[in-house]
Amino acid sequence: MRALPAEHAIVSAGYALRDVQRWRDGRIETDQDCIAEELPIALLYNDRPHVVMMATPRDLDDFVLGFSLSEAVIDHADELSDVQIHALLEGIEVRVRIPGAHAEVLEGRRRNLTGGTSCGLCGAQALEDAVRQPAPVDAGVEIDPRALHRALDHLQDLQPLNTATGATHAAAWAHADGSIALLREDVGRHNALDKLIGAMTRAGERVSAGFAVITSRASYEMVQKAATVGIPVLAAISAPTALAIQLAESTGVTLIGFARNNSHVIYTQPHAATGSRREHAA
């Protein structure tokens, strides 16, 4: 791959401006549109290629940390070091160092994935790679339904990239009272969650003290990532899949879907999101 000149720093708003022809009220007019950026991001651990993800080229430090944690490449943030991000003509290359023991485990998985924005595990070579079973999560705080919808009400206002382009997902971390502490955006829903996990880790957020909200469906990979880092409650504005529900049940994650328009559906662990935990304990 060919490196770009040094003056091409990786500073991205996440979108590009493009001239377009817009049809409106029977007339054609020239206009400018904000288009979400999507580039291949190659991730190398200890100089060994591991995965290429199509992602929005912003918050890449959060992305590599969150991906490394949610995919169980490392156990703790301080095991990731010497992060080097290089802009190339073909995309972006991210090189990181991890402990040798983790690198050996990673090599043993024999995974060299090419993930798209709708699939995070394309190319897994074994069933155990595709459906990894995380350990059960610790119990979190009870989430009042009003707190969940308080977070949902503020979600759109905190998505500048989606406001500009209409093409990105978001993952947000909210405290128990529904106040949103962190939010990350990306063209890929998996990437947005990984970026959020990285940002939460850097900020020292306690996973037991809040809940995550995603602007997408809740596929099993999203539950898998949440459970791997210990997030106890995951709320999606769209539907879950059957495997996501099964995985949430087995790991103790409270999974919520169709969270919008002042309503939602609780699929697993309902006591954590209905205020009934105390009743169960009584």
Residues annotated as part of the active site: 119
What is the domain-level CATH number for residue 168?
Answer: 3.40.140.10
- Is residue 56 one of the residues assigned to a domain? no
Average pLDDT, stretch 137-141?
92
Average pLDDT, stretch 226-250?
97
* Count of the separate structural domains present in the chain: 1
* pLDDT grade for 225, boundaries at 50, 70 and 90: very high
- Is residue 225 one of the residues assigned to a domain? yes
- Is residue 104 one of the residues assigned to a domain? no
pLDDT tens digits, residue range 77-112? 999 999 999 999 899 999 999 999 999 999 887 544
- Is residue 149 one of the residues assigned to a domain? yes
Cα–Cα distance measured from residue 29 to residue 166, given in angstroms and rounded to the nearest whole number: 20
Q: For position 55, what pLDDT does the model report?
A: 97
- Is residue 93 one of the residues assigned to a domain? no
Max Cα–Cα distance, the chain, nearest Å? 67
- Is residue 231 one of the residues assigned to a domain? yes
- Is residue 224 one of the residues assigned to a domain? yes
Query: Who wins on pLDDT, 111 or 206?
Result: 206
Secondary structure of 234-278 in the HEC alphabet? EEECCCECHHHHHHHHHHCCEEEEEEECCEEEECCCHHHCCCCHH
* Number of helices (H), then strands (E), in the chain: 9, 13
Cα–Cα distance measured from residue 120 to residue 47, given in angstroms and rounded to the nearest whole number: 21
* pLDDT grade for 11, boundaries at 50, 70 and 90: low
Determine the structural domain holding residue 261 and report its residue range.
Answer: 145-281
Q: For position 223, what pLDDT does the model report?
A: 98
Question: Among residues of the chain, what percentage have pLDDT more than 90?
Answer: 80
The amino acid present at 157, given as its one-letter code, is D
- Is residue 108 one of the residues assigned to a domain? no
Quick check: pTM over 0.75? yes
